[in-house]
Amino acid sequence: MTLEELGFGEAEQLALERGGWARADCARVIRAERGQVVVLGEQGEKMLVIPGSLKGADVAPTTGDWIVGSPRGAVEAVLPRRTRFVRRAAGLRTEAQVVAANVDIAFVLTGLDGDFNLRRIERYLTLVGESGAKAVVLLTKAAQAEDRELRLAQARTVAPSADVHAIDVVDGIEPDAPRAYLGPGITAAVLGSSGVGKSTLVNYLMGQTVAKTNEVREHDDRGKHTTSRRELFLLPGGGAIIDTPGMRELSVWGDAASLDVSFPDVARLAACCRFRDCRHVREPGCEVRAAIARGELTEERLASYVNLSEEIAATERARLEKERRRRR
């Protein structure tokens, strides 16, 4: 097993040299558990303890991270992340939680069996846009959809900068489409609500059952979570894929610029509004309203954009407030 087979690249090499660390001590986190991580490196798998200094939600090593291990079996350092998915930690605390790191391709899955929801796709795409990874939307269970072409067209309107495919890995509709995005050195991750088929896709791409899937095929789109942790698997054709549990509550975390990636159409229009702080409600010279009037943008997509920007602004304010208090 070489580090390159695990996705190690120039950025990681540089970080190791800067820190004066040995390549032999470097490994990739394949699973994060309470207080410890399971890593894979040149010497195979091992378990390392997370020291107190690395326990905060935003600094703790997470699945996909590159770390340096100490001789005493602890994580000594986490290498800078090329990309990272950050969400607002569930619960009341205003805290960013890094859920996966160094992902190049994020497959955003939505089921065509009743789970279909454009607003949720926009939310996931904002999370991905903020991460720095490239998003690919996969509409799963395509064999069960009577209106597949319509759904594809709708999904494309909310994902203007992503590829969109309708697939079915169980009933064989373009099951290999995702493979075009994979390959040596590339790390992918599957994201989406519980039951959309993330683990099923991972198993298909792996060519064997590595992840548990929900065997109950009754019509219960919002069933219990089957996957309970994020885990990285090495793909037979090279590269890696991270399976994740469906997130029950997905609050995005980021800065306003992340919306330029997930809403390039709205952002482009908004930049042309007469007032810089236009709220696109009733202001004169509003290009966003004009586009809605022309039928080029839906009212729902604008509402979703406004919602997410307010959410992001609120987390930004909370973050700044926290920093200010810390500095006092």
Ligand X SMILES: Nc1nc2c(ncn2[C@@H]2O[C@H](COP(=O)(O)OP(=O)(O)OP(=O)(O)O)[C@@H](O)[C@H]2O)c(=O)[nH]1
Residues that bind ligand X (CB under 6 A): 140-141, 143, 168-171, 194-200, 213-214, 217, 225-227, 245-246
Partner in contact with 288, chosen from Zn ion, Mg ion, ligand X, none, beta carbon below 5 to 8 Å by kind: Zn ion
Closer to Zn ion by Cβ: residue 26 or 288: 288
SS3 259: helix
From 18-26, 93-101, 155-163, 197-205, span contacting Mg ion (CB under 5 A): 197-205
Rounded to 10 deg, the angle between the 299-327 and 118-131 helix axes is 40
Q: Which does 217 bind (CB under 5 to 8 A by kind): Zn ion, ligand X, Mg ion, none?
A: ligand X
Interface with Mg ion by CB under 5 A: which range of 193-201, 228-236, 298-306, 314-322?
193-201
CB of 252 to ligand X, least distance (A): 19
Query: How remote is the C-alpha of 208 from its chain's centroid?
Result: 24
Residue nearest ligand X, CB atom distance? 197
Q: What separation in angstroms does the CA of 2 have from each of 9, 43, 72, 108, 197?
A: 11, 9, 23, 29, 31
* 292 phi/psi in degrees, rounded to 5: -65, -45
Under the criterion CB under 5 A, does residue 258 sit at the interface with Mg ion? no
Residue ranges with strand state E in the chain: 26-33, 36-41, 44-49, 66-69, 75-78, 84-88, 96-101, 105-111, 134-140, 163-166, 187-191, 231-234, 240-243
Q: Which CB atom, from 40 or from 169, has the smaller least distance to ligand X? A: 169
We find the least distance from the C-beta atom of residue 221 to ligand X, in angstroms, to be: 9
- Report the residue number, 74 or 290, with the smaller CB distance to Zn ion: 290
Contact (Cβ atoms closer than 8 angstroms) between residue 140 and residue 197: yes
What is the maximal distance between C-alpha atoms in the chain?
65
Beta carbon nearer to ligand X, 82 or 141: 141
CB 91 → Mg ion: shortest distance, Å?
Answer: 22
Nearer to Mg ion, 151 or 198 (CB): 198
Site residues, Zn ion (CB under 5 A)? 273, 278, 280, 286, 288
The entry of Zn ion, Mg ion, ligand X, none near residue 61 (CB within 5 to 8 angstroms by kind) is none
Q: How many CB atoms lie within 10 A of CB 297?
A: 22
50 versus 173: smaller Cβ distance to ligand X:
173
Distances in whole angstroms, Cα of residue 6 to Cα of each of 18, 85, 232, 238, 301: 21, 19, 10, 8, 39
CB contact at 8 A, 59 and 237: no
CB 199, min distance to Mg ion, A: 3
∠ at Cα 30 (163, 74), nearest 5°?
140
Q: Which is nearer to Zn ion, 119 or 279 (CB)?
A: 279
CB of 291 to Zn ion, least distance (A): 9
Contacts (CB under 5 A) with Mg ion, residues 199-238:
199, 226-227
Q: Which option in Zn ion, Mg ion, ligand X, none does residue 280 bind, with CB closer than 5 to 8 A by kind?
A: Zn ion
Of 10, 11, 69, the closest CA to residue 39 belongs to 69
Binding site for Mg ion (CB under 5 A): 198-199, 226-227
